[in-house]
Amino acid sequence: MEDVRRDLFAEEAARARRALVREIEAYGALRDPLWRSAFAEVPRHLFVPSYYVAGPGGYVRLWSGDPDPARRARWLRGAYEDTALATRVRDGELVSSASQPSLMAKMLEALDVRDGDDVLEIGAGTGYHAALLCHRLGDAHVTTVDLDEEITESARAHLAAAGYRPAVITRDGARGCPEHAPYDRIVATCAVPSVPYSWLAQSRPGARILTPLSTGLLLLAVRTPDRAEGRFLPGSAYFVALRGGSVRTPRPPRTTGVPRRVYEDEGFRFLAGLAGERLDTREALALWLRERRPERERFGVTVSGGRQWAWLDDPEGPYAWPLPEL
């Protein structure tokens, strides 16, 4: 009877994975068959044995060992929904989450990895993102780091349960992981206020760095150990902020003088977050209106010679401002 239950569960999980892959394809991602295979074969439910959903008065925990069959079924369905999952809550505050799978697929395809590439992931999370990288590249080519030892321990356990064994290291992600450098790709699954210089220093020439910044995804091409440049990908992206002793949390932009309907616009919020303390909110509003609500992909970032700045359209153009130092 136990074997029958296991088989039924495995079939249900496989059906849920196939449905998730179809949903991600409808989103426009997974054009690469190798990434499609990764999402079809890596069992996401092993990486989210429990997670939290919104409920009356706060979060409600769903978990794989719930004695109630209906709640267990709800847990499994949720594990394969194309949505972000809150996986770690501390004092009512979200500490860690599993990213939306379609967004992960978009990020992984944007990395444009090749066989033999070495990848550093900043933010271990549940380990699922690292497992997808391992499926594509092999365990020996993947390193994932996180500041929180509880997170790295659980990620390591989840990865092992799924049959993957990359390097999982407890580390301030802003400092990278020099002992496994150099890297061909660095991908962050947490938001940064600016690009850590250590990431460039640990990259090979021609490497790519993909990181959430403000509410967008910045893709940088590394030219030398102290120079990189790139633009934001289309669409919004919301991630938990990078934590660590070297990271200063920026103050939220002031909304004085900005109409509510404007500030609630995703495009303006991106610009306000990118400008941060370096561009007055009214200046940001004037720029946004003058340039007819510019899309994210018109913005970029240059890192060069120990400084970095954000810009609109042209790195040397009139619309540029410095990013904060980490």
Coil, helix or strand at residue 208 = strand
Do 200 and 312 fall within a single domain?
A: no
User: Does a structural domain hold residue 247?
Assistant: no
Give the integer Cα–Cα distance in Å for 42 and 18. Answer: 11
Domain count across the chain: 2
Exposure pattern of 277-306 as b/e (b: 16+ CB <10 Å)?
eebebeebbebbeeeeebebeebbbbbeee
Structural domain includes residue 239: no
159 and 275 belong to one structural domain: no
Question: Is residue 237 one of the residues assigned to a domain?
Answer: no
Residue 246 inside a domain? The answer is no
Same domain for 141 and 280: no
Q: So what's the pLDDT on residue 183?
A: 98
Let me know if residue 242 belongs to a domain. no
Q: Which residue(s) pair with 96 in the sheet?
A: 88
Residue ranges of the chain whose pLDDT lies below 50:
4
**Structure tokens belonging to residue 326:** 């980490």
Domain co-membership, 187 together with 278: no
Whether residues 213 and 299 fall in one domain: no
Query: Cα torsion for 163, 166, 168, 172, to the nearest 10°?
Result: -140
Residues 223, 170 within the same domain? yes
Domain stops at, among 217, 232, 247: 232
Has 96 been annotated as catalytic? yes
Q: What integer pLDDT is reported at residue 278 of this predicted model?
A: 66
Q: So what's the pLDDT on residue 4?
A: 47
Domain residues for the domain of 173 are 2-232
Number of other CB atoms surrounding residue 126 within 10 Å: 26
Would you say residue 131 lies in a domain? yes
Of the residues 50, 96, 97, 194, which is catalytic? 96
String of DSSP letters for 31-92: -SHHHHHHHHHS-GGGG-SEEEEEETTEEEEEETT-S-HHHHHHHHHHHTSSS-EEEEEETT
Same domain, 206 and 103: yes
Shared domain for 179 and 62, answered yes or no, is yes
Q: pTM for this one?
A: 0.92
| R_g of the chain computed on alpha carbons | 20
Say how far apart CA 198 and CA 205 lie, in whole Å.
Answer: 14
Do 158 and 39 share a structural domain? yes
> Cβ-count burial of 57 within 10 angstroms (0-12 exposed, 13-18 middle, 19+ buried)?
exposed
Q: Are residues 179 and 102 in the same domain?
A: yes
d(CA 146, CA 155): 10
As given in the structure block, the two tokens for residue 228 are 């990189």
Cβ neighbours of 95 (radius 10 Å)? 15
- Is residue 6 domain-resident? yes
35 and 102, same domain (yes or no): yes
Residue that finishes a domain, picked among 232, 252, 274: 232
Clarify whether residues 92 and 207 are in a common domain: yes
Residue 120 lies in a domain: yes
CATH number of the domain at 190, please. Answer: 3.40.50.150
- Among 188, 215, 232, give the residue marking a domain's end: 232
